[in-house]
Structure 1
Amino acid sequence: MKKFSAIIGSISVFLVTAPQILAAEGDLNPCKDAKGVLKASCAGQDLSLGQVLGFVVTIAFILAVLIALFFLLWGGIKWITSGGDKGGIEAARNQIIAAVIGLIIVFLSFFILNLVLGLFNLNLFKLELPTLTGQ
């Protein structure tokens, strides 16, 4: 119990002091190395709905891939730790298959979306929505 308390105390001290140490390291300007939508907002430019939509779609694809990879790794760990149990191996295999199918769906949807947008000469990362003119 003393070891556990010492470890928790050490981690707590580290987590409390780490932000101050990192803040003292240097410039905390988030606009310094900004790219894409963040760069436009840092420069004081107005963001269009198309830019924000493209940014959100890109983030959604990245999150979907990361989640699928997490489930793939989790299935692999379940397989390794199943200890030869047929039910455990089958559950892990099903999880790995589902994760791979999820990755395929994400990549195909990204490909199809880019293909359809390419037919209309649009770019997913620089969407420009049409506007109505008053003429």
Structure 2
Amino acid sequence: MNSLSKKIISFLTLSLFFLLLTSGSAQAQFMLKEFAGNAGYPTGESANLTSVTQTVINAVLSLVGIIFLGFALYSGIRWMSAHGNEENVTKAKDTLQAAIIGMVVVSIAYAVTTLVFKLVPVGT
């Protein structure tokens, strides 16, 4: 097989692969509003200040939770690589404790936010 044939086959294979990926994402949009509505998520039909605020707060809390999870993983790695050095083990324990406290605070904030947005009536 010559070089041109290899390039054409490679191009067609990659094109087919990427086209198959896009068809999956197109199918994901099918009946999305119905499933989101059944699950209790906003369907995008009405974008009022309350729903936008709730979405922003949930996104920020999720990001902060991910950061605290990263700190927990970092402290675990630091603890495992301390090799018996008590100073490094103590620092890792303190970081892990702070990360766990942070995750608990974020979880409580998420629960309170969800409760408040469920109890407060939405204006039209």
Please say whether Structure 1 and Structure 2 have the same fold, judged by a TM-score greater than 0.5: yes
Distance 2:83 2:115 in 1: 45
Give the Å deviation of 1:117. 4.9
| Higher mean C-alpha displacement, 54-63 vs 20-29 | 20-29
Residue 93 of structure 2 is matched in structure 1 by: 93
Cα pair distance change 1:92/1:101, threshold 3 Å: same
Cα pair distance change 1:61/1:21, threshold 3 Å: same
Give the Å deviation of 1:50. 1.4
The normalised TM-score by structure 1 is 0.60
Is the contact between residue 78 and residue 92 of structure 2 (CA under 8 Å) also seen in structure 1?
A: yes
Residue 24 of structure 1 is matched in structure 2 by: 20
Residue 72 of structure 2 is matched in structure 1 by: 72
Is the contact between residue 54 and residue 117 of structure 2 (CA under 8 Å) also seen in structure 1?
A: no
Is the contact between residue 58 and residue 110 of structure 2 (CA under 8 Å) also seen in structure 1?
A: no
Distance 2:95 2:70 in 1: 11
Give the Å deviation of 1:57. 1.5
Distance 2:60 2:106 in 1: 10
Aligned length: 103
Distance 2:15 2:94 in 1: 42
Give the Å deviation of 1:61. 2.1
Note the residue ranges of structure 2 that are not aligned, 5 or more in a row. 1-12
Give the Å deviation of 1:115. 4.6
Bigger helix fraction: 2
Is the contact between residue 68 and residue 99 of structure 2 (CA under 8 Å) also seen in structure 1?
A: yes
| Amino acid of the structure 1 residue aligned with 2:20 | A
Residue 107 of structure 1 is matched in structure 2 by: 107
Note the residue ranges of structure 1 that are not aligned, 5 or more in a row. 1-16
Distance 1:55 1:22 in 2: 31
Give the Å deviation of 1:84. 0.9
1:53 equivalenced with 2:50 (yes/no): no
The normalised TM-score by structure 2 is 0.64
Give the Å deviation of 1:20. 6.6
Cα pair distance change 1:94/1:20, threshold 3 Å: farther
Give the Å deviation of 1:24. 2.1
Distance 1:100 1:57 in 2: 20
